[in-house]
């Protein structure tokens, strides 16, 4: 008579409960720290978008010999770069950054921007766009020392600030609480 070994076809309830308890414990420890890895990446990315659009506007203004305007949407979730003029808001725009496009308009990802200083150029008559910089053909900005605040839409933290220097048409990111010079 042959005795066949008994093969097990599943797990006991106790084994399943122990494994589930270990997984829940690991999730409780790991999940809260995932947000720390992200940090201020959303506002930093939006600040980088503003800085890159300023550089693109400066380059185009100098090459084409006409001023370029950079503006944020009235609710702060979009940015637009286009030749400055009466038709700024109506010009057809690409919805992504494109080196060949004179006019671009696209949304910030989970971030919002707001102008923290007063420009000499007023917002559009319909209030759709708030101008943050007008870059002149000589490479300078119309206004000096403009400051744009950028914050995460989901958090109510102090905003990062982007300072736009008019004389050089350059910008720098200032951490929250840093004094503007």
pLDDT in tens, 47-60: 888 898 899 999 99
Radius of gyration of the chain (CA): 26
Q: Per-residue pLDDT tens for 123-143?
A: 665 678 888 889 999 988 888
Q: Which two tokens stand for residue 9?
A: 């076809």
**For the chain, domain boundaries:** 41-174
* CATH architecture assigned to 41-174: 3-Layer(bab) Sandwich (3.55)
Of 136, 132, 171, nearest to 64 by C-alpha is: 136
The tens digit of pLDDT for each residue in 21-37 reads 999 999 988 887 776 66
Q: How confident is the model at residue 115 (pLDDT cuts 50, 70, 90)?
A: confident
């Amino acid at each position: 008579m042959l005795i066949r070994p008994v093969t097990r076809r599943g797990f006991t309830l106790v084994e399943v409960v122990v494994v589930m308890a270990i997984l829940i414990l690991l999730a409780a420890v790991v999940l809260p720290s995932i947000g720390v890895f992200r940090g201020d990446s959303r506002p930093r990315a939006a600040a980088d978008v503003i800085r890159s659009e300023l550089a693109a506007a400066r380059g185009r203004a100098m090459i084409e010999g006409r001023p370029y305007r950079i503006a944020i949407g009235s609710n702060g979730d979009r940015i637009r770069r286009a030749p400055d003029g009466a038709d700024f808001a109506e010009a057809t725009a690409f919805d992504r950054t494109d080196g060949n496009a004179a006019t671009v308009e696209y949304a910030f990802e989970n971030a919002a921007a707001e102008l923290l200083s007063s420009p000499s150029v007023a917002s559009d008559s319909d209030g759709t766009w708030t101008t943050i910089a007008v870059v002149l053909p000589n490479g300078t900005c119309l206004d000096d020392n403009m400051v744009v605040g950028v914050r995460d839409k989901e958090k109510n933290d102090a905003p990062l600030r982007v300072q736009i220097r008019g004389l050089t048409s350059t910008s720098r990111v200032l951490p929250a609480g840093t004094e503007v010079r």
